[in-house]
Structure 1
Amino acid sequence: MNNVKKSFSIRDLENLSGIKAHTIRIWEKRYDLLSPERTSTNIRTYSLSSLQKLLNITMLYSNGYKISKIARIPEKDIPVLVREIVSKNSVEDHALNAFKLSMINFDQSLFFNTYNGLLSEFSFRDIFKQVFIPLLNELGLLWQTDTISPAHEHFITSLIKQKIIINTEKLQILAPTKRDKTFVLFLPENEIHEIGLLFINYEIVLRGYKAIYLGQTVPIDSLQDLLKYYDDLNFVSYFTVEPSKDKINKYLQQFGKGINQKGNYKLWILGHQVQHITPEHLPKSIEVFNSIEQLVNGL
């Protein structure tokens, strides 16, 4: 069964394009740029091709094209102009829309063309911070409002993870140069959102530290095995949806009992769920960070 979303409301279009619904209606009425269908209750609905067209129009509009001029461009020529824009040096100004368009159409080529255009001017670190993080933040809202489907989210996040892994692998060819810390990166059980943790792993390796990346849904018992090989470990984890707010304090207690056998471990954590931690119950060996940047600055 194909569960990919094919029908969009005008609010979906507003969320994805950043163009107000009122403006979309004006463009639709005055310039005949979109042709919505209507439900039996007279509510506008838009097809996937209409959404694609609006994102293309938005990109041209933000690049200085007047809406009256866009309306005169043959529809088949609009995607060509968009691809010309994302291939220019000013691609960073349009990268978010290009990546969203890539996601909506499952267009891998557009993703890579946009990324490579950014890479001609920026480092991978800058691209991640300036483009991927805002994109990921926006995806969360789009997913919660049912504007995009899980298939869209998985498509774009898989491509971003691929880029993080490739850039990390380039650094891992070199042996670690710093021996004072060894980092173990893991996600707790049932936590699968690993983009943030992957990027932290990249930053740790970039700074010359040894990093042991364990990845998704790792039980505390499995972490105990590492204590047989290392005396001083810095564990790093990212709590996006797990542990849940009613279990997170208990999880940290269990972690301490299971890992802190010699009293020389540290655990650095960040992510959406850390807001539910009770600070007064937090042992000194556990440190909470509000952002990736804050954690990286502590390396």
Structure 2
Amino acid sequence: MNKVKFQFSIKDLENLSGIKAHTIRIWEKRYQIFTPERTETNIRFYTLEELQKLLNVSFLNNYGYKISRVAELSEVELNKLVKQVYSEKTNTVFAINVLKIAMINFDTALFNETHLELSKTKSFDQIFLEIYMPFLSEIGMLWQTSSIKPIHEHFISYLILQKLIENTCAIQNSTQIVDVDKLFVLFLPENEVHEMSLLFTNYQLVKKGYKTIYLGTSVPFTDLLEINKFYNNVNFISHFTVMPYVDEIEAYVKRFEKEILNANSSKLYVSGNQTKHISTNNTTIFRFNLPSDLTNTF
């Protein structure tokens, strides 16, 4: 298998591992843990293998292993000790570290292996909330600091979306509808494409036995009007991450209330960063933070 070639600066290592660059330099000088190479312009850089080693070293250090001892281990011994500690602790930090390596190396097999291993001790809900959500939050910051590229985030996000869809399909085939009169329509407004939270909300509603219609990303307002032709008393659910724009969101919400909600006593539940700009106070539009905050109310 071809390995993706990647060069990391010491600042990249700091961002990816959480270990300060000053500490990395001390470990490197005192214990020869790393042997960075240099570019033609004499700038030091680190390899993917050295990043992986740093993540393993920091993991063991967090569990009380002295750097002086860890530095003496061979690569095989280091990996063996990490797996031993991980099996004893079932640590989320280690899982996130492995996901970073899978992401940077575009390694689908490693991602699937990690998910399978986690599923032996955790439910899918736990994996998503305890591992994937913190991981996605962290890689959002890594993208902003240029430690990873947008393609890395797209790659790993799609793999997580696949797991969400797989688990949703699985429970749809095995769960009976508990309330045929309660309908949830999930959508994102036009030009909004961040659907991870919305998909997880859909998964939790399906798991509880509710009927859902998942419309997905960037849904035109006129398409939402069509729902009223088929259903009454709809619970619309959306997530406003970046859309509608700040200067447009109030008008969007008021139009939604006037043309959709008031037509048949439906409700709109919204979450996401942009909801802080909604000033409308009424009895048909509700804001929530986490998917569980919403699903626990039904």
Q: Distance in 2 between matches of 1:33 and 1:246?
A: 52
What whole-Å deviation, never above 9, does each CA across 1:126-185 have from its counterpart, x for those lacking one? Answer: 111111111111121111111111111111111111111111111111331112420000
- Counterpart position of 1:291: 290
Letter in 2 for 1:287: F
Letter in 2 for 1:294: D
- Counterpart position of 1:236: 237
The CA deviation at 1:251 is 1.6
What whole-Å deviation, never above 9, does each CA across 1:231-281 have from its counterpart, x for those lacking one? Answer: 110000011121122221122123223323524111100012112222xx2
The CA deviation at 1:42 is 7.2
Give structure 1 stretches of 5+ with no counterpart. none
- Counterpart position of 1:256: 257
State which drifts further: 5-14 or 236-245.
Answer: 5-14
Q: Distance in 2 between matches of 1:104 and 1:56?
A: 16
- Counterpart position of 1:72: 72
Letter in 2 for 1:275: K
Q: Distance in 2 between matches of 1:66 and 1:98?
A: 22
State which drifts further: 6-15 or 263-272.
Answer: 6-15
* Aligned 8 A contact 1:184 1:212 in 2: yes
The CA deviation at 1:64 is 4.8
Structure 1-normalised TM-score? 0.88
- Counterpart position of 1:181: 182
SS, match of residue 211 in structure 1: strand
Q: Distance in 2 between matches of 1:9 and 1:275?
A: 37
* Aligned 8 A contact 1:192 1:216 in 2: yes
Identity rate, percent: 49
SS, match of residue 283 in structure 1: coil
> Do residues 272 (structure 1) and 273 (structure 2) align?
yes
> Do residues 7 (structure 1) and 13 (structure 2) align?
no
Q: Distance in 2 between matches of 1:117 and 1:126?
A: 13
Letter in 1 for 2:23: T
> Do residues 109 (structure 1) and 109 (structure 2) align?
yes
The CA deviation at 1:206 is 1.1
> Do residues 96 (structure 1) and 96 (structure 2) align?
yes
Q: How many residues align?
A: 293
State which drifts further: 245-254 or 149-158.
Answer: 245-254
What whole-Å deviation, never above 9, does each CA across 1:41-67 have from its counterpart, x for those lacking one? Answer: 976443333323322332343455432
* Aligned 8 A contact 1:221 1:258 in 2: no
- Counterpart position of 1:167: 167
SS, match of residue 233 in structure 2: coil
- Counterpart position of 1:32: 32
SS, match of residue 102 in structure 2: helix
Change in 2 beyond 3 A, CA 1:290/1:296: same
Change in 2 beyond 3 A, CA 1:9/1:132: same
Change in 2 beyond 3 A, CA 1:266/1:5: farther
SS, match of residue 146 in structure 2: coil
Q: Distance in 1 between matches of 2:129 and 2:49?
A: 30
* Aligned 8 A contact 1:220 1:258 in 2: no
* Aligned 8 A contact 1:89 1:117 in 2: no
Letter in 2 for 1:125: D
The CA deviation at 1:69 is 2.7
The CA deviation at 1:79 is 4.7
Change in 2 beyond 3 A, CA 1:112/1:90: farther
SS, match of residue 139 in structure 1: helix
What whole-Å deviation, never above 9, does each CA across 1:182-220 have from its counterpart, x for those lacking one? Answer: 000011111111110010001111111101111111111
* Aligned 8 A contact 2:236 2:266 in 1: yes
- Counterpart position of 2:137: 137
What whole-Å deviation, never above 9, does each CA across 1:72-99 have from its counterpart, x for those lacking one? Answer: 223466456555665x353334212121
Q: Distance in 1 between matches of 2:212 and 2:178?
A: 12
**Deviation above 4 Å: which 4+ runs of structure 1?**
37-44, 76-86
Letter in 2 for 1:222: D
- Counterpart position of 1:157: 157
Q: Distance in 1 between matches of 2:250 and 2:7?
A: 42
Q: Distance in 1 between matches of 2:124 and 2:68?
A: 37
SS, match of residue 122 in structure 2: coil
State which drifts further: 206-215 or 141-150.
Answer: 141-150
* Aligned 8 A contact 1:236 1:269 in 2: yes
- Counterpart position of 1:215: 216
Q: Distance in 1 between matches of 2:107 and 2:27?
A: 26
